[in-house]
Structure 1
Amino acid sequence: MKVLLIKDVKNLGKAGEIKEVKDGYGNNFLIAKGLAKAATTDVLRKYESDKRKEAQNLEQEIANLNSLKNILKDIKIQIKKPVGESGSLFGSVTKDEISNALKEQKGIEIDKKTLDIQAIKHVGVFDVGVKFKHSITAKFEIEVVAE
């Protein structure tokens, strides 16, 4: 019997491959455990359709991230922090503060986990890196000013 593997199966193949297996192994193990489906024309057609949709979604996601990258490169946000007598900040600028300032000032939401910064402990202009999925990176500037 021919089966379409839905998940990787050790010593048999990877997801998406069509394999010829014995009927008992195919029905009683692979199909019963949800590791494969019987390779009928309907199943294969649906699988190919799903793969095309997935590829289109991936292309759309990459295009959106590249668009956001182009928008971010021209952005400069300002963060006000209290400063001590020596000119250094009380504490440091956090990823959360940067993410919130970006949302408030420019209306762009970025998860703070994607931000890549060094500790900012004094006033000045700094570059902030953003690491998106699919190896797409962007940079924008923040200006830390005394409150």
Structure 2
Amino acid sequence: MKVILQETMDGVGHLGDLIDVKDGFARNFLLPRKKAVVANDRNIKSFEHAKRVAADRAKKEKLEIEAHAKKLSTVTLTVEAQVGKDDKMFGSVTVKDIAEGLAEQGYQVDRRKIQLPHPIKELGSFTVPVKMPREVTAAVTVRVVKRQEAEPASDSSN
């Protein structure tokens, strides 16, 4: 008996596979548990239509994500770090700092999606990848600059 699987089953097949199984297996297990439907013309056409609709939706969603990633890749984030002698940084720039900086610019990014292998511990410009859904990656430029010390206000009211 030919059936169309409604879900992925180990040892049998994947979702949407058109497989030939023994009549007893289909009647006693697959069909009553709604794990498969009989492969008649109507069911095959409806499944093909559902597959096309899902593919179109996935394509549209991926285009939206790629557009968002392109927009995110244009962002240059400037992080001010406190430095000591010989421009040696105190502390480091972490994923949390990058996520907060992006949030200030209006981009909500889950900090677990920011692919920073180790915290940034030096001044300079770095490209940090940000993972997005559907295997899309955006690259954010992070500039780490020296924090400008505020000039002490001159007190002339003595």
Question: TM class, shorter-chain normalised?
Answer: 0.7 to 0.9
The letter of the residue matching 1:116 is Q
What TM-score does the superposition give when structure 1 sets the normalisation length?
Answer: 0.78
Partner of 1:108: 107
What TM-score does the superposition give when structure 2 sets the normalisation length?
Answer: 0.74
Residues in 2 aligned to 1:60 and 1:92: alpha-carbon distance in whole angstroms: 39
Q: Deviation string for 1:86-113 (max 9, x for gaps)?
A: 53333321112212211212x1222222
Partner of 2:132: 132
Q: Deviation string for 1:96-145 (max 9, x for gaps)?
A: 2212211212x122222222234301232221122334443332211223
Q: Deviation string for 1:34-56 (max 9, x for gaps)?
A: 43222344433432232122111
Residues in 1 aligned to 2:111 and 2:53: alpha-carbon distance in whole angstroms: 29
For residues 1-147 of structure 1, what are the structure 2 equivalents within 5 Å? 1-105=1-105, 107-117=106-116, 118-147=118-147
Percentage of matched positions with identical amino acids: 31
Pick which of 121-130 and 76-85 moved more: 76-85
- Seen in structure 2, the aligned counterparts of structure 1 residues 12 and 141 have a Cα distance that, compared at 3 Å, is closer
Name whichever structure is richer in strand by fraction.
1
Pick which of 1-10 and 93-102 moved more: 1-10
RMSD: 2.5
Q: How many equivalent pairs are there?
A: 146
The letter of the residue matching 1:95 is V
Rg: which structure is higher?
A: 2
The letter of the residue matching 1:109 is Q
SS of the residue corresponding to residue 108 of structure 1 reads coil
Uncovered stretches (5+) of structure 1, i.e. residues with no partner: none
The letter of the residue matching 2:109 is I
Whether the 8 Å CA contact 2:99–2:109 is kept in 1: the answer is: yes
Uncovered stretches (5+) of structure 2, i.e. residues with no partner: 148-158
Residues in 2 aligned to 1:122 and 1:27: alpha-carbon distance in whole angstroms: 67
Residues in 2 aligned to 1:39 and 1:82: alpha-carbon distance in whole angstroms: 68
Residues in 2 aligned to 1:145 and 1:19: alpha-carbon distance in whole angstroms: 61
Pick which of 13-22 and 121-130 moved more: 13-22
